[in-house]
């Protein structure tokens, strides 16, 4: 009987010891399960929903995704749920579904990439108040939404200066996507830059009405080049890919012909090293990383608007193509205009109405 009691007592002691050991091990793991984002149990996760141009549009969406990947790398995150990820939209009907899907998967911050997602972000933000959202290129007045805007006109102004100092025909083209405020800023800034550098230059302006129609971009570019334009700038997302194809095709037919294209959002030199003069850079990647870091650190600017311009390194101009005949003169002029804009001596117009009264003197 005594042996049985002693055996039972020993069993209870061992069991208690095992439970205590397990508890201690669990606490140790919890303490060591730290990450650069969030608390000790869960890493800070972030995702985005693309506009219809797609994540590999060589432009706007791609720049945002590059920013998201950088944030993931900086914080030791893996692609997928619980880390960083994206959902691609094939039409505007996908916006709401994709945003809601990422919020339900538990991502801490979800980006809506593009002006066209205003209604979707606004609606889902109300439905998912515990999730933080950010919208690029528009303002949504919700406490859990950060609005990210850019001074596209400043980058476009520099592109206009470069175009004006490059053209030999005094004829330039501008291809816009949809006629919305963000593209109007590109247009107004570009026309102001051309005017400031060489007022006698003619600029043809044409809108495609879409951001995902490369064939339409090529058709418009073909018409502009055929009418005498020798430099064409696009602010049309993936539609602008057609511009590069047309410029490249024309260059192949006549290698001596001086013909140029100007890219947008990111350095698009890869789209045609022989024909891409420069690109009006919009650092969506910088903004994506900046807002994500603030959210991770508990400083998410919900209900606020963040505006990125030259002063904030949010916009700029890609290097001038080394094959440009007057590259040094363009570089010098661009540098001078950057200093004037940053100092406040020149305020670049962001609308057509502001352009009417603009003067660089």
Q: What is the pLDDT of residues 190-226, one digit of tens each?
A: 999 999 999 999 999 999 999 999 999 999 999 999 9
d(CA 220, CA 174): 10
Q: In 10 A of CB 186, how many CB atoms?
A: 29
Q: What is the pLDDT of residue 4?
A: 43
Overall residue count recorded for the chain in this entry:
361
Contact criterion met (CB below 8 Å) for 179 and 211: no
Q: What is the pLDDT of residue 60?
A: 85
d(CA 293, CA 60): 20
* Long-range contacts of residues 78-81, Cβ cutoff 8 Å, at least 24 apart: 81/45, 81/105, 81/106, 81/107
What is the band of 17 on the pLDDT scale with cuts at 50, 70, 90?
Answer: very low
As a whole number, the mean pLDDT across the chain is 90
Q: What is the pLDDT of residue 18?
A: 39
Q: What is the pTM of this model?
A: 0.84
Residues 194-204: pLDDT tens digits?
Answer: 999 999 999 99
Q: What is the pLDDT of residue 8?
A: 43
Q: What is the pLDDT of residue 231?
A: 98
The tokens describing 198, both together, are 């060489």
pLDDT average, residue stretch 83-92: 96
Residues 120-144: pLDDT tens digits?
Answer: 999 999 999 999 999 999 999 999 9
Out of 17-31, 278-292, 294-308, least confident range: 17-31
Strands 46-49 and 109-113: parallel
Residue 32 has pLDDT above 70, yes or no: no
Residue carrying structure tokens 């990647």: 285
Collapsed DSSP state (helix, strand, coil) of residue 133 = strand
What is the band of 59 on the pLDDT scale with cuts at 50, 70, 90?
Answer: confident
Instruction: Provide the 8-state DSSP code for 320.
Output: P
- The full set of domains in the chain, from first to last, is 46-150+286-308 (3.40.50.2300), 152-282+326-356 (3.40.50.2300)
What is the band of 360 on the pLDDT scale with cuts at 50, 70, 90?
Answer: confident
What is the band of 41 on the pLDDT scale with cuts at 50, 70, 90?
Answer: low
Q: What is the pLDDT of residue 53?
A: 82
d(CA 342, CA 340): 6
Contact criterion met (CB below 8 Å) for 153 and 349: yes
């Amino acid at each position: 009987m005594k042996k049985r009691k002693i055996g039972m007592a020993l069993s209870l002691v061992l069991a208690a010891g095992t439970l205590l050991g397990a508890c201690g091990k669990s606490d140790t793991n919890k303490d060591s399960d730290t990450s650069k984002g969030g608390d000790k149990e869960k890493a800070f996760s972030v995702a985005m929903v693309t506009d219809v141009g797609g994540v590999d549009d060589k432009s706007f969406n791609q720049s945002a995704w590059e920013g998201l990947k950088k944030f993931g790398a900086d914080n030791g995150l893996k692609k997928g749920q619980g880390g960083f990820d994206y959902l691609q939209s094939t039409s505007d009907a996908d916006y709401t579904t994709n945003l809601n899907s990422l919020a339900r998967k538990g991502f801490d911050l979800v980006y809506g990439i593009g002006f066209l997602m205003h209604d979707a972000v606004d609606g889902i933000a109300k439905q998912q108040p515990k999730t933080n959202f950010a919208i690029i290129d528009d303002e949504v007045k919700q406490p859990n939404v950060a609005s990210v805007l850019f001074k596209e006109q400043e980058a476009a102004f520099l592109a206009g200066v470069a175009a004006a100092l490059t053209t030999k025909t005094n004829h330039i083209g501008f291809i816009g996507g949809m006629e919305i405020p963000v593209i109007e800023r590109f247009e107004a800034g570009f026309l102001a830059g051309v005017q400031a550098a060489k007022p006698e230059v003619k600029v043809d302006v044409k809108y495609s009405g879409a951001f995902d129609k490369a064939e339409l971009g090529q058709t418009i570019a073909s018409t502009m080049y055929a009418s005498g334009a020798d430099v064409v700038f696009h602010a049309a997302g993936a539609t602008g890919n057609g511009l590069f194809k047309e410029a490249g095709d024309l260059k192949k037919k006549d290698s001596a012909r001086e013909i140029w294209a100007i890219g947008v959002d990111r350095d698009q030199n890869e789209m045609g090293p022989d024909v891409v003069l420069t690109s009006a850079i919009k650092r969506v990647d910088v903004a994506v990383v900046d807002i994500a870091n603030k959210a991770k650190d508990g400083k998410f600017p919900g209900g606020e608007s963040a505006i990125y311009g030259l002063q904030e390194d949010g916009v700029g101009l890609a290097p001038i193509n080394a094959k440009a005949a007057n590259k040094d003169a363009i570089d010098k002029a661009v540098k001078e205009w950057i200093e004037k804009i940053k100092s406040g001596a020149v305020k670049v117009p962001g609308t057509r109405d502001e352009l009417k009264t603009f003067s660089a003197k």
